[in-house]
Structure 1
Amino acid sequence: MTNAPVAVFDGHNDTLLDVRADGREGGRSFFERREAGHLDLPRARDGGLAGGLFAVFVPNDDHEYDREPTAEGYEMDLPPAVDRERARAFTYDALARLHRIRADSDGAVRIVGDAEALDAALDSDALAAIPHLEGAEAVAPDLSNLDLLYAAGVRSIGPVWSRPNAFGHGVRFEYPGTPDTGPGLTDAGRDLVAACNDRGIVVDLAHLNAAGFEDVAALSTDPLVVSHGAVHAICPSSRNLTDEQLDAIAASGGLVGITFAVGFLRPDGESDPDTPIATLVDHVEYVADRVGVDHVALGSDFDGATIPDPIGDATGLSDVLAAIRDRGFDEDEVEKIARDNWLRVLGETWA
């Protein structure tokens, strides 16, 4: 396929779990092209990646993330809540790592926190990085450190990952399954949504269960965002979005970033990398047909998921855009999906 000249903004990666700043121990360098993982600076440039949300995810060190087979598919037990102090220390270290990468990059990586800085980075050759918390475990339940996290660059927070915390309840991994899996936001979760709205921090609904989604939709004054997700009508995973949720996202002026994680794309729910790019485009097309092309974008989950072999890594982004073109989207629509929808929603949230 021919490389596309369109710059991409990607709604989600987990690269901070496995990279280091240059010249430091512990993980692969972000500045060197590697076979490992999906994303580094050379591969970002080759694939046309101009910016994205860089997630901080705090793993459960002693939990096995194994799928248990069922008669129809699989289920995965929710891991327990993580210790708050450990989550805070892990998150602060990951944010510091991103800042060291920026400092060591000689201007090649910029941490951006407002629309003007984002536009300036995208107009240059720099990679625009926006810190995101995938689960708010590092946020104090009384929100006493939220301004500190904001000062560190955090401009997007998912109240939960797929486990409980002080703010709400995550949706378990199950296929086939429904996102209607339990109670919604706690009082602290409602306070977090309001505080994020006040500060211009995106509230990410990825990994929230149905009740939590409905709570955010009722409370938030900003566009609804799912940074990385897919369509339940195509792949009935509990993690995927129902038609009613897609309608609510569009009604708010928000978007869903279509994940590249094959287990949430394939109709059979299998985590099989032998998956064509066309399967991903099925989800893009479904959202565009149902609620409009203004409400669909990309949210790869690079370095956090099994992705289709034909994409491979960040260098495959141009192939994704080519496959979207091949489905009949015109160039203006491709640019919206690749970048402009994210820029619009971020600008409206940060205003």
Structure 2
Amino acid sequence: MKLFDAHCDTIGKIVETGADFIGDAETAAGAGEDGALAYHPGGKGLHVTLPGLRAAGVCAQVFASWAWTERYKGREFETAMTKVEAVRRLCDNHPNDLFFALTGAQIAAACETGDPKAPIAAVASLEGADALMGDIDNVALFYEEGVRLLTIAWHDSPFCGSTYGDGSGLTSLGTQLVEACEDAGILVDLSHASDQAFFDVCRVAKRPFIASHSNCRSLCPSPRNLTDDMIREIAKRGGVVGITLAPGFLSADYYQQTKAISEEFWRSVREDGVTVDEAGKTSAEAEALVPRPPLDLIVQHVRHALKVGGEDVVALGGDLDGVDALPDGFAGVQDYPRVIELLATAGLTEAQIEKICYRNLARVFRETVV
């Protein structure tokens, strides 16, 4: 079974820590048995490696370039550009295994080929619009560099107002951003957006959009997850929801146990002047003590999304290398076949699993990225 994953933070670790992308798939995660990694961009271990991608049968992978203002103030544009260029460089360095995808047709073709040795489509994205430095014209510059997906917010920004659950909605600049992305042929991603911003985008968007790494709020109350109404809106517009492996979005119990850790992270950064990396290290150490949820919880989220939005709305967006821990039984991208086995055991048909694993996301890219 082929796989198309809508979101990983791997390129940040490669750029900032020299993480080994070609290391062994089974050991590169390097986190020890507890599965905890240092906070993104974290330590040198990776969830996503080239051997892991090959072992899992991945046909396309979105590599997110994250340049949050709180961490890169004044360097957001340059940081994001460096990371996007690094995605292209990975492809140049491994031409038999990766190619830098620029059109939806190229991405879809990579997933439709019958050749298991065909190069994997590497898709560059921006996670958060901070890198635009408040200037809509920079959308065109990132498009020229190869960005084909844009997550409009990672945290509060001039575009999205505020993020997660309650909060202000899309700003006038945010409206322009959505329009600019659609005009350029960049797929809009609403993971991280506030509830109000989500529905503001619904009033603006004319093309399908996605939530690249979000789960079902009905099953896990994290405000980063999607309500049933949101899932229905995405489905109605022909988009997809990338079901994620982030434990705090999979498990209600894990979310409740780590909520205070997350709140302390944000408080220490905002009020105590602690750096993002220092706060993240403390957060990762605390989260490592929380028992990881079982991997089979992903099946519950997939089935709920299918029930609410239909089989054309569900995809995968692991958030690998962007989380401090993974579910029990999943150490890295090489373990995606375990998810496929769980879906089959749960009674999903082969056609449904194919849609979830790659066909739905490939379709959206084909329709929006031209």
Q: Give the TM-score taking structure 1 as reference length.
A: 0.85
Q: Flag the structure with higher strand content.
A: 1
Q: Relative to 1, partners in 2 of residues 1:29 and 1:318: Cα closer, same or farther, differing over 3 Å? A: same
For the 8 Å contact 2:67–2:76, the answer to whether it is kept is yes
* 1:254 aligned to which of 224, 235, 239: 239
1:341 and 2:330 correspond? no
Of the three residues 103, 107, 110, the one matched with 1:118 is: 107
SS of the residue corresponding to residue 227 of structure 1 reads: coil
2:241 counterpart SS class: strand
Could you report, residue by residue, the CA deviation over 1:140-165 in whole angstroms, capped at 9, with x for unpaired residues?
4332222121011101101111x221
Matched to 1:313, the amino acid is G
Q: Which residue type is aligned with residue 55 of structure 2? A: D
- Report the counterpart of residue 166 of structure 1 in structure 2: 158
**Alignment of 1:44 onto 2:33:** no
Shift of 1:278: 1.5
Following TM superposition, by how much is the alpha carbon of 1:46 offset from its aligned partner in structure 2, in angstroms?
A: 0.8
Gaps of 5+ in 2: 31-44, 259-289
SS state of the match for residue 156, structure 1?
Answer: strand
**1:15 correspondence with 2:7:** no
**TM-fit CA distance, 1:248:** 0.9
CA distance in 1, matches of 2:53, 2:364: 22
The answer on 1:135 being equivalent to 2:128 is yes
Is residue 156 from structure 1 mapped to residue 149 from structure 2 by the alignment?
A: yes
Q: Give the superposition deviation at 1:60.
A: 5.9
Q: Which has the higher contact order (CA 8 A, sep 6+)?
A: 2
8 A Cα contact 2:163 2:194, kept in partner: yes
Instruction: Name the amino acid aligned to 1:45.
Output: R
Shift of 1:106: 2.9
2:297 & 2:336 partners in 1: Cα distance?
A: 15
Q: Which residue of 2 aligns with 1:264?
A: 249
1:330 equivalenced with 2:349 (yes/no)? yes
Following superposition, the deviation at residue 117 of structure 1 comes to 1.7
What TM-score does the superposition give when structure 2 sets the normalisation length?
Answer: 0.81
Letter in 1 for 2:100: I
Aligned residue identity for 2:121: A
1:342, 1:12 → 2: CA distance?
A: 11
Q: Give 1:121 deviation, angstroms.
A: 3.2
Cα 1:89–1:216 change in 2 (3 A) is: same
Partners of 2:63 and 2:51 lie apart in 1 by 16
| 1:1-351 equivalences in 2 (<5 Å) | 6-20=1-15, 26-33=17-24, 34=28, 35=30, 36-59=45-68, 83=73, 85-122=74-111, 123=113, 124=115, 125-161=118-154, 163-172=155-164, 179=165, 181-268=166-253, 269=255, 270=257, 272=290, 274-305=292-323, 306-351=325-370
> CA deviation digits over 1:300-337, x for unaligned, max 9?
00001121121111111000011011111000000000
CA drift of 1:170 comes to: 3.6
> Secondary structure at 1:19's aligned position in 2?
helix
* Structure 2 counterpart of 1:90, one-letter code: T
Q: Are residues 182 and 274 of structure 1, via their aligned partners in 2, closer, same or farther at CA, if it must alter by over 3 Å? A: closer
Partners of 2:364 and 2:329 lie apart in 1 by 29
Q: Any idea what SS the aligned residue of 1:250 has?
A: helix
- SS of 2:131's equivalent in the other structure is coil
| In 1, Cα distance between equivalents of 2:105 and 2:235 | 25
Q: CA RMSD in A?
A: 1.7
Deviates more, 1:337-346 or 1:115-124: 115-124
CA contact (8 A) 1:9 1:52 kept: yes
Matched AA of 1:251: K
State whether residues 68 and 130 of structure 2, in contact with CA within 8 Å, keep that contact through their aligned partners in structure 1.
no
Instruction: State the shift of 1:59 in Å.
Output: 4.4
SS in 2 for 1:130: strand
* Distance in structure 2 (CA, Å) of the matches to 1:91 and 1:345: 24
Partner SS for 1:106: coil
Alignment partners' CA distance in 1, 2:107 and 2:350? 22
Cα gap change, 1:60/1:220 in structure 2, threshold over 3 Å: closer, same or farther? Answer: closer
Q: Within 2, Cα distance between the matches of 1:26 and 1:183?
A: 35
CA distance, structure 1, for counterparts of residue 88 and residue 291 of structure 2:
33
Residue 336 of structure 2: SS of its match in structure 1? helix
Q: Percent identity?
A: 33
Contact 1:273/1:308, CA 8 A, preserved across alignment = no
Question: Aligned partner of 1:17: which letter?
Answer: G
